[in-house]
A and B are shown apart, each in its own frame.
Chain A
Amino acid sequence: MVCTVRGLVKTYPAARGRRGAPATPAVRASDGIDLDVVRGEVFGLLGPNGAGKSTLVRQLTGLLRPDEGRVRVLGHDLVRHPERAARLLGYLGQDSTALDELTVSLAAETTARLRGLETRAARAERDAVIEELGLGEVAGRPLKKLSGGQRRLACVAAALVGERPLLVLDEPTSGMDPVARRAVWAAVDRRRAERGVTVVLVTHNVIEAETVLDRVAVLDRGRVIACDTPAGLKALVADEVRLELVWRTEPPLDVPEVAALWKAAEAARAAADASGRRWTLRLPPDDARAAIATVTGGPAFAALDDFTLATPSLEDVYIALGGRAEGAEGLVKA
């Protein structure tokens, strides 16, 4: 067991209102979290904005002291000894201010030096990681002058230098193009295969979660609402499929079949979500087939722009598990 979390609670105190900033009530960002991360796995934390993902990883990395609960990483109690975290794990935060004005190669080299490597080893690691992530062309440029995705990639490079048995990465691939993403996952995978490195990863990208994670914990309002393999989670809603309908203009509710479909979807308490011309219906497969027959034949077809029928994604799981509907917007696809 690489990382064990038990009964973790963290409450941010209420803030008094200032001029221009309304008062905010106390927020329970971690509300009794239990987690077990096994050696060599890529463990994901998935959830909408404000679910408490970053608060959780900041407690795993010793940056934030929990109010209650235990955090053990590789046999060390990080609540009692938060300073040990830096010697056990590599952390990629969301912010790059500390590195922004350095060149990519100096950012990697300095970070390696500060991780305790000798000059020669730090330079070797720097060159290796820059090569590995394909940053050679921009190695001499300051992070500030790079595009968002490249800058993020440079930060990943800094997080990877210096061997650590555990990597905690907070949205490592945000803003990256597919080539860069692939480079990151290849680098992570190589460390896992060669050294048995464990990865705890924050993401709110469901597609990525499905492809790279071994296990995923779904967080909502500071609680773990589910934890399993992506396939295991999807099997929870395997009895449903997702039907998306896009209408050319207004939905033809004057067509009785369409109105009936809408009503039936509601009546059947199938998860339904509609904003104007785009409908998302979660239905049993037979109902979905019937619905497609309805909208692709007869008068409704003229109003139909597009439709998709898909097996459930982690996003559907999230909604099915009772996540906030508005929070689902925080889960990006693609």
Chain B
Amino acid sequence: MSVMPAVSGVSGATGVPGVSGASAGLPGASGVSGTSGASGDAGEAGDVPAPLAARARLFPALVAVYRAQLSRARVARIPLLFVATFQSIGIMILMRGVVDGGSEARSVVAGSSVLVVAFVALNLLAQYFGQLRASGGLDHYATLPVPPSAVVLGAAAAYASFTVPGTAVTAVMGSVLFQLPMTNLWILLAVIPLSGAALAGLGAALGLLAPRQELATLCGQLGMSAALLLGVLPAARMPQVVSYARDLLPSTYGVEALARSFDGQPDWWVVCADLGVCAGVAVVSLAAATWAYRRAAVR
């Protein structure tokens, strides 16, 4: 089959009119719109700038994003939250054959609990923002008058909230498995939001900075693997280099704080110091994520 290219009979002859106006004299042109072709008309707007609509304020916008993100859990996240929890419980059951009580048991339980946070807040959030950026979904937020930090903080808060049930279940199960005291588990109320914020900020920044969606996914997965290996495995058995890497990972401080609270007489100052590091990292990583969002939104 041969496809003949269209030969345009009138091209050239028409002398393409540049922009409106050139063909204003054509019959029928006026019937469609009274305002058309009026390129010389300055209009009432002229050069007087029109009033700008109100901006969305930070807190209401943050709440709106948080609510919307939380509602996504029902549709998309619940199966993954189960996976996150079962993964951690599975690891604890495995490790029961290796460690026998003492400080190692504490760090296994603490590491597995915080791993749920790393899975959801770091890995899933990195994937979410990576996907949003790659598909052009960020345009939706970028064309709304909403502060960038509201989008990032709202999403990060929602993802940190997703981790609450899984982390609590894991910590309780671990305490039962390894016969650890549950009296100080209330510390989770501080560990989850602080390490959640730190890891979510990191995940959001990775997702928004990765040049390609696959890289965002990869970074999220690697971050989670690091949290697994460096958090769950007892620190005393690690080579020196690896323990430096462990110190660099924000989830480590959440793990330490939780592990210490299993002591009969925890040293609360050290726990607070650990949580303080989490909070500091959270501030920095969320600021970085907000900067990354701005950068990704306007290209």
Contacts and interface: CB of A to CB of B under 8 A. Distances in A.
A95 B68 CA distance: 18
Contact of A320 (B9, B57, B68): B9
Contacts of B5: 273, 325-326
Interface in B53-90: 53-57, 60-61, 64-65, 67-68, 71-72, 75-76
Nearest to B54: A116
Interface string B6-39: 1111111010111110111011111111011111
Given A226-B16, A275-B1, A62 B143 contact: yes
A183 to B, nearest CB: 21
Interface in A226-253: 226-237, 239-240
Nearest to B212: A18
A110 B50 contact: no
A215 B36 contact: yes
Contacts of B127: none
Nearest to A43: B36
Max chain A C-beta neighbours (<10 A), residue from B32, B48, B144:
B144
A75 B46 contact: yes
Interface in A50-66: 58, 61-65
Nearest to B138: A98
Given A102-B71, A229-B32, A271-B6, A116 B11 contact: no
Nearest to A91: B143
Nearest to A274: B4
B281 to A, nearest CB: 27
B19 A34 contact: yes
A269 B29 contact: no
A98 B136 CA distance: 9
Interface residues of B, number: 78
Contacts of A106: 67-68, 71
Given A102-B72, A110-B68, A116-B55, A270 B299 contact: no
A110 B6 contact: no
Given A103-B71, A116-B55, A271-B9, A75 B45 contact: yes
Contacts of B65: 110, 114
Contact of A214 (B36, B50, B137): B36
Contacts of B218: none
Nearest to B131: A97
Contacts of A111: 140, 144
Interface in A77-111: 82, 84-91, 93-99, 101-103, 106-107, 109-111
A10 to B, nearest CB: 11
Interface residues of A, number: 93
B139 interface: yes
A162 interface: yes
Nearest to A99: B140
A114 B64 contact: yes
Contacts of A187: none
B146 interface: yes
A86 B71 contact: no
B7 A236 contact: no
B3 A274 contact: yes
A327 B87 CA distance: 52
Max chain A C-beta neighbours (<10 A), residue from B39, B53, B71:
B53
Nearest to A277: B1
A138 interface: no
Contacts of A320: 8-11, 14
A283 B136 CA distance: 44
A181 interface: no
B135 interface: yes
Contacts of B23: 228, 232-233, 235-236
A76 B51 CA distance: 10
B139 to A, nearest CB: 4
A326 to B, nearest CB: 8
Given A76-B50, A115-B145, A271-B9, A214 B55 contact: no
Interface string A9-46: 00000000000000000000000001110111100000
A114 B67 CA distance: 12
Given A63-B143, A103-B71, A271-B9, A116 B56 contact: yes
A56 to B, nearest CB: 14
* Nearest 4 interchain pairs by C-beta: A97-B137, A75-B49, A232-B29, A74-B50
Interface of B: 1-12, 14, 16-20, 22-24, 26-33, 35-39, 41-50, 52-57, 60-61, 64-65, 67-68, 71-72, 75-76, 131-132, 135-146, 150, 297-299
21 contacts: A1-B42, A38-B38, A38-B43, A39-B43, A39-B45, A94-B136, A95-B137, A97-B135, A98-B138, A98-B140, A107-B68, A111-B144, A114-B146, A115-B56, A119-B60, A214-B33, A236-B10, A273-B4, A276-B1, A280-B6, A322-B12
Given A63-B142, A75-B46, 15 more contacts: A34-B18, A88-B50, A102-B68, A102-B71, A110-B68, A113-B64, A116-B56, A215-B36, A226-B17, A227-B18, A235-B26, A268-B9, A273-B6, A320-B10, A325-B5
